[in-house]
Structures are given as structure tokens and as C-alpha cells.
Structure 1
Amino acid sequence: MLATLQELGIMPSLSRPSVSNDNPYSESLFRTLKYRPEYPEKAFLNIATSRRWVDDFVCWYNNEHRHSGIKFVTPAQRHTGRDIEILAQRTRLYHAAKARHPERWSGNIKNLEPVGSVYLNPEKGKANSKEVEAA
């Protein structure tokens, strides 16, 4: 198998089984995928069925699923810049709720500032702190 991968110019991943921090982005995505209620209990009938399921999952993941690492907006909202207005609206809502019932609040409202840049593969020399902040 290794020889075939090398012939195709594919660099094999050296991730270790049961080690979740080797590739945390893939691990997180696969966990989200596997725990969807629609995930089949048995194998897909054929490749076309599996591709259709993954296409539907990707559409849901990008357009409906609110991600904690980007302040609970969808990737599509963030990509188009709509996250800025959505988060500003949420901030106004929290301030209004706190003003109406201050006794229900023991501290400040949530930080709903849009997150900065998030990197999958930070350039060499950059600190990995942005990876940790986004996680």
C-alpha cells in the first residue's frame, strides 16, 4: 500500500490510532459526521449512496451547523461575512436582556466578537495559539 501511495505522489499520514491530537481537525469532523442521527447503522448500499449522503452532510455542515470555534455561526455565514452582523445582533440582544433583568446576570455577557483568522496549517514561524483559540 505504501508503494502505491508513493507512486501516486500521496504523502501517507502517520496518525496513530486512538490519538486524537494527531489531526484534530479531521478527528472533529469525523466525530460530527459519525454522530449525526442520519448516519447509517449499516454499510452504504453502494458508492453512489455514500456519495449522496456525504454531499448532504457537507451541505448541512457548511450551511446549517453552527460551529463553536467561530462563535456559533455557520461556515457559510462566516465565509460571506454575514457573521459580523449576526454576532452584533446577538450582542444587542444580550445587552437588552441584561438591561431588562439584571438580577439574572452575575457577570458580563458572552464575548460575541467575531473570531480572527483561523488556520488549518499555520505558516512556519507563526505561533500555534490561533489554532488553540479556534478549537
Structure 2
Amino acid sequence: DYPSKPFGGLEEARAWTLKFVRWYNQEHKHSGLKFVTPAQRHTGQDAAILARREQVYRDAKNRNPQRWSQDTRNWKLEDQVWLNPERIRPEELQQAA
């Protein structure tokens, strides 16, 4: 887990921040990234991970179709991912696209 202990001095704050950033980018699986880490996304590992997940779900559905009332989860990741898109006005999103 990411560090949650409060800090006192500047060096302690820097150490906490570095630890948090490492956790956030290297370990935390983001829902907006279909549960891969930002590092996996940036290095291109996400495609193989998500393809494997899609295959696992498809195999599970084929083995036990009565457990599935609909299609399996969509593991396709959008080309662009936004942090807090609800805070961006639609006209700003159009300009950024």
C-alpha cells in the first residue's frame, strides 16, 4: 500500500512523495486504465495484459456459459485517458482531442 503516515520535515515529505509516486505509477491498478498500472500503459505492456484477461474471461464463459447473462467485460482501452474528465468543460475536451 502507499504510505499513509504523516510527515514532519522537508526530507520526510520528499521521501513520502517519492514512495507515493512510485506506488501510484508502478503498483496501483487504475480503474480508468482497465486495472493496469500507468507504468504498464506507458511501456506498452497493457495490450498483452488486457488481451490475456479477455482470453481468460472468454474461456471462463465457454466453460460455464450459464453463469454469464451478458457478454464478458470489455477489456479494450481507449487511446486517450483523462484524469478527472468530469472537471473539463466539453469545449476544452474538443480542443485537446
Fold shared by both chains (TM-score > 0.5): yes
Q: Following superposition, which runs of at least 4 residues in structure 1 exceed 3 angstroms of deviation?
A: 119-125
**Residue 127 of structure 1, CA deviation:** 6.5
- How many matched pairs? 92
TM-score, normalising length from structure 2? 0.81
Counterpart mapping for 1:88-99 below 5 A: 88-99=51-62
Structure 1's unaligned 5+ residue stretches are 1-35, 131-135
User: Helix, strand or coil for the counterpart of 1:66?
Assistant: coil
Q: Distance in 2 between matches of 1:74 and 1:37?
A: 14
Q: Does 2:8 align with 1:70?
A: no
Q: Which of 117-126 and 59-68 deviates more?
A: 117-126
- Bigger fraction of residues in helix: 2
Structure 2's unaligned 5+ residue stretches are none
**Quick check: 2:54–2:75 contact (8 Å CA) kept in 1?**
yes
Q: Percent identity?
A: 46
Q: Which has the higher contact order (CA 8 A, sep 6+)?
A: 2
Q: Distance in 1 between matches of 2:71 and 2:10?
A: 50
Q: Distance in 1 between matches of 2:28 and 2:45?
A: 15
Q: Distance in 2 between matches of 1:89 and 1:124?
A: 35
